[in-house]
Amino acid sequence: MKTLNPGTLLLLPALLFFAACMAPGESLVEPAPTVEAVTTASGLVYEVIETGSGPTAKAGDMALIHETTQLADGTMITDTWAMNHPLRFLLGGNQVIDGMDEAVTGMRVGERRKLIVPPSLSKRSSYPENEVFGPADTLYYNVILLQTSEQ
């Protein structure tokens, strides 16, 4: 009977963690495409992971997105894929943090971006006591624009 190497057992939790952080269809085996990060004047950093081919989102549109939100240490805050409940909001309507409004504006339907949102763009009016993050935290997003529609 063949036994597992103890080193192999140590890798299993790490692989499970990375798999949980990935978007549907993303693979640990395939190398990530080389993409260049864009830093906007406000400090938002994003990378286009997949280009979209649908309509472009603009201020005043209703946007429908799937997202994951994490802290730098990998702590998961939100995962709309896991909840099977995409987020709908009015672009420019102060319904989401400024960093999300800025990041989604200009995306095309089907586009996926990775975002780094600094604290200056992730301010909220309140932080519930049970939340795992606060006003000084940088947030890391994986977001895909599913739909946009004019209002």
The residue segments making up the domain with residue 121 are 34-150
In a domain, 122, yes or no: yes
> How many other C-beta atoms lie within 10 A of the C-beta of residue 15?
10
d(CA 137, CA 64) in angstroms, rounded, equals: 25
Identify the DSSP state of 11: H
Kindly report the CATH number assigned to the domain that includes residue 144: 3.10.50.40
In a domain, 13, yes or no: no
In a domain, 115, yes or no: yes
**Residue 94 · residue 38 · CB < 8 Å:** no
| Total number of domains constituting the chain | 1
In a domain, 29, yes or no: no
- Note the pLDDT tens digit of each residue in 101-125: 999 999 999 999 999 999 999 987 6
Regarding pTM above 0.85, the answer is no
- Note the pLDDT tens digit of each residue in 31-66: 455 678 999 999 999 999 999 999 999 999 999 999
